[in-house]
Structure 1
């Protein structure tokens, strides 16, 4: 049976851009290595939209960001020198490791207007990879294996499931897929990983005889093996092996609170390189309590 239902909570990223925050949740911080899950939109952006809607340059450590769009376009720029638009049914996979900065801007929307809808997830890195060299990759086409069966169109975003393996390099066992389902269609929920979840992006589904509407993440029990679309639905399925406790401060993830304190200090002091192609502004460190640095002996 479903172990927990997590409803998205609306959060403002500024400039009129709201998201549905799902993870982390007070009673469920992670699902496998997935530590953050935001549902962006659906949102119509009018031509000429103000630049305040953009996500200005900001830093990350200790995680991989996974951006996947149902609709729209976002332009990614990072401190490694990559500039990469992402469009519908494509993936931007950015591994922060020891530290990276990037921006996400809505340039198509500013020019001609756009309809934005997508998911950004964070995957925490295992301890042995938390300080790896940062990297970026873009994936589309054959990197995202597809299948169609019984009213279900599937696309594997990352990891291995359904007998397929996606193109992005991952650092721990996981799976992440997108299912578009016609009303009445049923789909398998991948097994083989100790922690699994579904997120209903649109429509409604049924699991174990209960109905669940859009905007809800279902943390699954070991016996949950299939879902059925009550109405046309778009569903994300995800899971993986737990990697141990992680702490979050702002855009930083680490197994060490001291490392979070160091990252905050580095950003505040201007020690993290901004993207060369987008270095004229940045998001300042937020106010409020900060992680504590280790006491001096």
Structure 2
């Protein structure tokens, strides 16, 4: 039933720790999901340094999906969008042929507080890899929810459990937020060929084995999966139809290495527009020197 267990790897992104789960050498993707970071949980004091912010950086060939349990951050991108995200909401950005964006913690810097959430990247099908970039924001009230028998569930994106999310996706997938009371059980159906569950918090039992926060379970195809919460638990379910081989390097995803090489050259040469009002700094390509003062282009 369980084909792979992935333990998150804690990484310091400059004053802010994330738990990286995907990509993983044992299986880079789950359906179209190619990247999965648990942001935090972290406690911030008012006035923390701006170094914690995620400065402008580029993407191609993917969609980013940000979802928070606690906290707030502000997204700005090169399509002209500036959008704060708060708990239970969705920020979805499709990079397509190329986009740049930043994520800044302005509200937390002013007020202090906790930050806890998930950012995942979803690879695009080949026919959409060079599409125009776009962005959409969805309020939590727009997303289907269910509650009963010790389970609260929200369908963030895609289709699952007989429901459909309004979040516009590019290929068949599902992404679900579960909260389970201690002792509650819930079942993940076998409707998609690739499925996984990430334990964001708590202790669960699957197939007679126990798993804790920070672990992702990747399941074999064709069988439903019964999950029992041994303590109050938060679980993210994800998966979908596979897209075929994808290459990932830094912030770029593509079905060919040549396209990634082109994106690297474009970023290094300053050919990718930066977010309006946030063009005084950016993240250099790994191995490159830091950017000079002033706008990139």
Taking structure 1 as the reference length, what is the TM-score of the superposition?
0.95
Alpha-carbon contact 2:190-2:223 (below 8 Å) kept: no
Matches of 1:11 and 1:251 in 2, distance apart?
Answer: 16
Aligned counterparts of 1:19 and 1:214: Cα–Cα separation in 2? 13
Cα distance in 2 for partners of 1:113, 1:46 equals 4
Q: Does the 8 Å CA contact 1:73/1:114 hold for their aligned counterparts?
A: no
1:24 aligns with 2:23: yes
Q: Deviations over 1:143-198 (max 9, x none)?
A: 31111011110011100001111111111100000001100111121321100000
Q: Matched residue of 1:231: which SS? A: coil
List aligned pairs for 1:153-164, cutoff 5 A: 153-164=152-163
Residue matched to 2:292: none
Instruction: Say yes or no: does 1:240 pair with 2:252.
Output: no
Cα distance in 1 between the residues matched to 2:184 and 2:126: 40
5+ residue gaps, structure 2, are 289-297
Deviation at residue 105 of structure 1 after TM alignment: 0.2
- 1:98 is paired with a residue of what secondary structure? coil
User: Which residue of 2 is the match for residue 176 of structure 1?
Assistant: 175
In structure 1, the gaps of 5 or more residues are 289-297
1:254-295 deviation per Cα after TM superposition (whole angstroms, max 9, x unaligned):
00100000000000100000000211111111118xxxxxxx
Aligned residues: 287
Alignment of 1:1-297 (within 5 A): 1-14=1-14, 16-221=15-220, 222-287=222-287
Asked if the contact 1:73/1:88 (under 8 Å) is kept, the reply is yes
Distance across 1 between alignment mates of 2:59 and 2:140: 27
Structure 2 CA distance for aligned equivalents of residues 34 and 188 of structure 1 = 21
**Residues in 2 aligned to 1:119 and 1:191: alpha-carbon distance in whole angstroms:** 24
More moved, 215-224 vs 119-128: 215-224
Instruction: Report the CA distance between 1:231 and its aligned residue.
Output: 0.4
Please provide the CA RMSD for this pair. 1.0
Residue 84 of structure 1: how far off its partner (Å)? 0.4
Q: Distance in 1 between matches of 2:225 and 2:148?
A: 17
Tell whether the 8 Å contact from 1:207 to 1:224 is kept in structure 2 after alignment.
no
Tell me if the contact between 2:17 and 2:40 (Cα under 8 Å) persists in the aligned partners: yes
**Where does structure 1 differ by over 4 angstroms across 4 or more consecutive aligned residues?**
none
CA distance in 1, matches of 2:141, 2:224: 29
Alignment partner of 2:272: what SS?
coil
